[in-house]
Amino acid sequence: MRILLVDDEAEMADPLSRILTQQGYVVDVAYDGGRGSQMAQENHYDLLILDWMLPQLSGLEICQQLRSRGDTIPVLFLTAKDTIDDRVQGLDAGADDYLIKPFELRELLARVRALLRRPPTLEPPAPSQRLRIDDLELDPANQLAYRHGRAIELSEKETQLLEYLMRHPNQLLTHDQIHQHLWGDSAEKPTSNALAAQIRLLRRKIETEGESPLINTVYGRGYRLCDTEGSNVKKL
């Protein structure tokens, strides 16, 4: 069984990871919400253990993202938030269980075992991998975008960048988040202006003269793909 633990307090996350590993689980650890969200999207896990308050993205936002994609992976919140309203908010976001800090290790392990014993939810048929926002459509598998009836050929990096933006419409994605998504921990670090160059190339292709701009720059922070119709990304 593989578990993703996301907690920005290393003094809690690291010992807990070792204990879970001793129990026979394979454990990955992320120390901020941005990295945790990326790992949850890119890898298969049997359980997510999320701290509520995290840098970049909260555990609540990660859980909401998962459920919005139809992901039924069990989610256990670890949090100091202990009011009824907090618990209701966490469960309404799609969490399966909720444990208040500080907690007894025996109880945590019991809840982990209980969540992993649950039979998997039958998943609906997988939708097509195409994504659409407004008049922009993306076919990641074939590295093609479509806008106003024209086909747009994309490089691999342009496809990865556009897909990442389209999966987070109207959300500010920081330079660090996008860098991590595109290049990860690669030994070949991109130059400081590599991301800006990728954005310029992508804009030239998907925002020709007369077409409304979609990618907004948030100066000093990052980029946001704007959904002008106010709707979420559609899977086709």
pLDDT tens series, the chain, 236 aa: 899 999 988 888 899 999 999 999 999 999 999 999 999 988 889 999 998 888 888 888 888 888 877 788 899 988 877 666 766 777 777 888 888 888 888 889 998 998 888 765 544 444 447 888 888 899 988 889 998 878 899 998 999 999 999 999 899 999 989 988 888 765 455 666 889 999 999 999 998 887 888 999 999 899 999 865 544 444 44
Q: What is the pTM of this model?
A: 0.51
CA distance 36 to 43: 11
Contacts of 224 (CB under 8 A, 6+ apart): 170, 171, 172, 173, 215, 216, 218
Return the residue matching tokens 């879970």. Answer: 20
Per-residue pLDDT, 150:
85
Using N-to-C axis directions, what is the helix angle for 156-166 and 194-206, rounded to 10°? Answer: 80
Q: What tokens appear for 48 in the block?
A: 């997510």
- The yes or no reply on domain 131-235 and CATH 1.10.10.10 is yes
Per-residue pLDDT, 200:
93
Q: Residues 192, 175: contact at Cβ < 8 Å? A: no
Q: What fold is seen in the domain 2-117?
A: Rossmann fold (3.40.50)
Contacts of 119 (CB under 8 A, 6+ apart): none
- Does residue 162 come out as left (phi exceeding 0), alpha (psi in the -120 to 50 range) or beta? alpha
The residue type of 85 is: D
Per-residue pLDDT, 189:
57
CA distance 71 to 47: 11
* Cα–Cα separations (whole angstroms), residue 116 to 36, 138, 141: 20, 35, 32
User: Residue ranges of the domains in the chain?
Assistant: 2-117, 131-235
**Strand locations in the chain, DSSP E?**
2-6, 26-30, 47-51, 75-79, 97-100, 131-133, 136-139, 144-147, 150-153, 173-174, 215-218, 222-225, 234-235
